[in-house]
Structure 1
């Protein structure tokens, strides 16, 4: 089970290092146990300096332990069975073979220079082949370039060309896309399918899919292999490892920009090792721990989680690939450690609330009392366990996550206080909230295991220090009372090397002293804990001069209004009020709207659902819920939305209104809903005029 290194004094979690203040900035805040020096390596394994060292050490130490697992699939019954596992030794052998096979293809088949470093694109959902592909780059000193599974062809084209990707290891469903666009991909020379080509043709004398793909690839000048062929080549032509150096770039991790093209974050081996070492100073997983991998591995949070687990001797089970059936995978795997994002936890929270404290009769009454008692204990610093209420209610609730989860980590976006504490008492485990970015390898702050006060993102991790820098345009200053406020800047060994081929953005983000400007606004309280309160980017002024950070408002409303699946808050300098576009969550919205309209529409009745969406009474009722959520989130008066447009047109990667990391592309959403936005403002102006008359 996970082991925590608890802070000695929760009331003083970080300390401002004396003598480090400068004009326009606070001093440097460090974790109270690491004021004398930051962690920049894995302290129990000082010889581990690269990702190659990391897995060689782990595979030797844990060789016979089960490591990577996936659920077996019966194509006849079309059902999934139990997890099947490969050991650390087996995965290490596959890395050797796959890496050797790629080197043989690169040098012998493609005729490339033996000493040349090159980039391997990786494009699929999480699976053992993803890990093998990435780690093979570390064994032969090449560069991994993860591609988001939901990236459209245009973004894939940009990343492959920008990173000069020579080969792509991908799931079979992406091969056609790559070949269709191959005329735009001059550096791409080979594609490796993670799915086997061994299935025979259905009719004698007909070509199977593999033959068709190979012939198509030959026309385009691109070699097509399946994963097992490459491994076989590696067995036939084994290569010696080419260990990387700590400052070599291990991966180009492209951030999905909300406006322009994605930026290639250069992450070195030193960055990864510093992040793993830093994370182990707060919590250590070990043999016997199990985690589920379902977050996109092109996203740094999922990547760091998997890298840390691989050093610890853990088991990593991959989900089937369908987020809608994730809980079925969780029930089968029974993880001890679970990484999550607020969007998933908010939906889980809504379901648990409906089944417990909002349930009718005795069940609801008991749940409300149990939650009340456990929340009181938590707020008093007495922990999350209770012998009576756990036995009566919450041990059953724990089974939603398999019954064994000891640690639940959330990150990537803010989560509401009430959600955080409700999950803590329901699951009876440590619920940690972390904060970080791709440029800092997802490592900046985290809450403590025994934290009892919600609403902040904890203190600096052992390997980094933080300062707050004045933002005069937004009226945030390091001299503010009662607490210093400003832009959060981070420094440590996990901070990235820079943006690939992009000196301008590198200079704007990373200063000469190594400080990473995050663009997030925060304050630090008297316990040394940091709270995110605003965003420096994506801000605008209302007509009366008030600054608005729409993402903050969207996060506040989403966390507190269970009707919302997606939301876009809009305003500009010509208007004094905000409006919103909301895509309702059908699971919660449908019963709510039926109750308001007095109907019994089902989700299958699309015409009926559309009528509910357009019903003025339903719209007015949703506005009431948004107002309640705004008050609960302590929004200021000018931050409340005054009109809402309900729609079924979800923001997605496919329609270019969302990035692969679930960030709203604001200009695209504004353009798509421009008529509706204009209509909402016209209604506000008309109502205001009538009121004056």
Structure 2
């Protein structure tokens, strides 16, 4: 208030002259010079009051993690007072059920879950209504024969929508465990899951999905399935078909009405109780069901809340957009965090092509995102700037904002935001305060660019289903890229030697292992694979290779097992694909390569020297020596077409097919160091030897 009164006094030249002469009594000042000095003083004072201030980090950014018991390969968060890991943040939030109840106490009749019809605004269901509907639905499931304990598994096969969350909360209200299903698992995998969990009840959003489950019941391969609960209407023909094989089909509203007639008091879960069995899609064998407890969820969510406590406090008016699959833990942990603070979650319409319209309508403040979408946003921004002048202005503005970021300043109200970035920010609703990217690595270039252009906090996390979601997280104030942050307060992270790959913990490199209250209980009824993942000391072996950086953050550098993710989050088992391509007549040896920053595969192929010359002539009239044919782009194209055809016949998915090749005329061998003594590919060495060719293929595709 005093500052504004002083500014008003500056409007009077007499008052200005008197004020300045008090400061500068020895200077002979004219009215015009006094006015000039007054203007400078006003602007300086205004700048001092309104200048952007850097975010204060919660710890020393040069020491974001601490060695445990003096072992630099094993580290925990610098936010902890000692080696005691964080179980929960609030005293009253030790389970996922508790976290929703806390939000209910905060928000009451305030909005909780939002949905919309095409072209319409969002409609909201209150926290009170959600809690009431969950209790009624849960009571109805008990009346249908479900038991109120963690050994009762209830399946859900639906896209993101309010009923999904109500169904989940119904299970938690009576200590039942949820088992999400999703289409990309495939029907065989869903048969395996239903039988493994001995599920009798599955909740579906539409008849088409219920039909796919019923077909397996008709074949006699899912004997325990006895009840299908549908969100929407279904045909009488379908109901009759279900009755004929011993399956009851009922609408969600009818189960809710049944619960109203048989209302039961809640039976809240304990932290050690099972909350969800999350099945990983995997790439080989049957899917594994990771058993996640309520304590796992509480500790993981609480750790993110603790990291953000000084920089980003979730408020009741905050809203998140829900479009990432609820069958995966990343999206679920985001929502639990929102519910814990009485905030809102709005669901997309179910059509990813309409997502941007949903975002513009919802105007989220919180944006969970995967690198593939961030890459699209980045590409769209760059492609929309066609003139050299505008492109130069964009890149200059980005550099200026990145300079602010390097000093810890994050904002969206600079001149650059108003002049250059406002349309970009408006395309995401204009209200973003926070974005979190996970599930796959993101390019440092893209991350730094979007932090500047979006003008909001963008954090990166790393983890996997088996540690509930995350085990590392960016530290507020650290806006550098190329790492995945420091350990969460709920996790110790250590690196262990991998001699075969020449990674050693003494060098700050090795397989990433995680221990703490967020680590899962094991795989459902699968002791063998549980023992592979969890060692006798409770360490979860991730299969990823990490490197500790000097500031205590973790960088992901490799994959121990030859399984990796593409940028869209799809897992790839290269050896499986290579075995398929070996059936191709002209192919003698093949190496399939993928980059987690890319969305497609490429490969190195050694053609069979005894076959190639004749094959090439018959295939397309190509002539030449073996080496000449390896350099012929038309021959490469023909081999790639044959490989794609063989892959298609073998059932390879589109993302499993290589999109480009390099033909190499020399065999991989023990002598040249590209095969092991047991004739297995030395994948690291092959990647190193052909690094130039691999980089060129990706560069060419990018152009």
| TM-score normalised to structure 1 length | 0.75
Which residue does 1:57 correspond to in 2?
102
In structure 2, relative to structure 1, the CA distance for the partners of 1:95 and 1:655 (3 Å cut) is farther
Separation of aligned partners in 2, 1:164 and 1:128: 26
Q: What is the CA–CA distance in structure 2 between the aligned matches of 1:122 and 1:428, rounded to whole Å?
A: 37
Q: Look up the match of 1:491.
A: 515
Listed as ranges, the matches of 1:62-101 within 5 Å are: 62-72=107-117, 79-101=118-140
TM-superposed deviation, 1:369: 2.0
Could you tell me how far apart the structure 2 residues matched to 1:354 and 1:646 are?
Answer: 34
Choose the corresponding residue for 1:473, options 500, 507, 523.
500
- Which of 355, 378, 396 lines up with 1:326 in the alignment? 355
**Contact 1:535–1:549, Cα closer than 8 Å, also in 2:** no
What is the alpha-carbon distance in structure 2 between the residues aligned to residue 15 and residue 133 of structure 1?
41
Partners of 2:68 and 2:667 in 1: CA distance: 55
Question: Which residue of 489, 512, 529 corresponds with 1:505?
Answer: 529
- 1:186 and 2:231 aligned: no
Q: How does 1:491-570 map to 2 (within 5 A)?
A: 491-538=515-562, 553-556=594-597, 558=598, 566-570=599-603
Counterpart contact for 2:149–2:174, Cα < 8 Å: no
Residue pair 2:591, 2:605 contacting (<8 A) in 1 also: no
SS in 1 for 2:292: strand
Match of 2:119, SS? strand
1:574 CA displacement: 10
Q: Do the aligned partners of residues 382 and 338 (structure 1) sit closer, same or farther apart at CA in structure 2, a change above 3 Å counting?
A: closer
The runs of 5 or more residues in structure 2 that have no matched partner are 1-54, 564-573, 579-589, 609-631, 669-703
Q: Deviations over 1:647-682 (max 9, x none)?
A: 999x99x96637xxxxx6xxxx46xx7xx99xx56x
Q: Structure 1 residues 211, 302: CA separation in 2 closer, same or farther (over 3 Å shift)?
A: same
Paired position in structure 2 for 1:600: none
Q: CA deviation at 1:522?
A: 0.8
CA distance in 2, matches of 1:233, 1:414: 47
1:37 to 1:478, Cα distance in 2 relative to 1, 3 A: closer
Q: CA deviation at 1:645?
A: 7.2
Q: Give matches, 1:106-255, under 5 Å.
A: 106=145, 117-172=151-206, 173-182=208-217, 183-195=220-232, 197=233, 209-255=234-280
Separation in 2, partners of 1:232, 1:54 = 26
Distance 1:528 1:500 in 2: 35
Q: Deviations over 1:568-611 (max 9, x none)?
A: 24459999xxxxxxxxxxxxxxxxxxxxxxxxxxxxxxxxxxxx
Contact kept? 1:94, 1:231, Cα under 8 Å:
yes
Larger radius of gyration: 2
Aligned partners of 1:520 and 1:535 also within 8 Å: yes
Whether the 8 Å CA contact 1:309–1:315 is kept in 2: the answer is: yes
The structure 2 residue matched to 1:47, chosen from 79, 86, 92, is: 92
**What is the match of residue 439 of structure 1?**
466
SS in 1 for 2:238: helix
Contact 2:157 2:182 in 1 (8 A): yes
User: Secondary structure of the equivalent of 2:469?
Assistant: coil
State the alpha-carbon separation in 2 of the partners of residues 550 and 250 from structure 1: 38
Specify whether residues 646 and 59 from structure 1 end up closer, same or farther in structure 2 by C-alpha distance, changes over 3 A only.
farther
Kindly state the Cα deviation for residue 12 of structure 1 after the two structures are TM-superposed.
1.3
Relative to 1, partners in 2 of residues 1:116 and 1:57: Cα closer, same or farther, differing over 3 Å?
Answer: closer
What is the CA-CA distance between 1:268 and the residue it aligns to? 0.9
The whole-number CA distance in structure 1 between the counterparts of 2:535 and 2:135 is 39
Alignment of 1:454-469 (within 5 A): 454-469=481-496
Alignment partners' CA distance in 2, 1:249 and 1:116? 5
- Which residue is equivalent to 2:671? none
What is the distance in 2 between the residues matched to 1:59 and 1:644? 58
2:291 is paired with a residue of what secondary structure?
strand
Work out which of the residue numbers 387, 412, 431 in structure 2 matches 1:360.
Answer: 387
1:14 corresponding residue in structure 2: 65
2:339 and 2:398 map into 1 onto residues whose CA distance is: 36
CA distance in 2, matches of 1:249, 1:348: 38
Relative to 1, partners in 2 of residues 1:39 and 1:86: Cα closer, same or farther, differing over 3 Å? farther
- Corresponding position: 1:299 with 2:328: yes
Q: Structure 1 158/366 Cα, relative in aligned 2: closer, same or farther at 3 Å?
A: same
CA contact (8 A) 1:534 1:549 kept: no
- The verdict on how the C-alpha distance between 1:382 and 1:70 changes in structure 2, with shifts beyond 3 A counting, is closer
Distance 1:487 1:367 in 2: 40
* Aligned equivalent of 1:268, options 293, 297, 319: 293
Report the Cα distance in structure 1 between the residues aligned to 2:88 and 2:56, rounded to whole angstroms.
15
Q: 1:60 to 1:388 in 2, by over 3 A?
A: closer
Q: Is the 8 A contact 2:73 2:506 kept in 1?
A: no
Pick from 123, 135, 143: which aligns with 1:104? 143
Choose the corresponding residue for 1:36, options 82, 91, 99: 82
- From 340, 349, 353, the equivalent of 2:369 is 340
Shift of 1:40: 3.1
Is the 2:606–2:665 contact (alpha carbons within 8 Å) kept by the matching residues of 1?
no
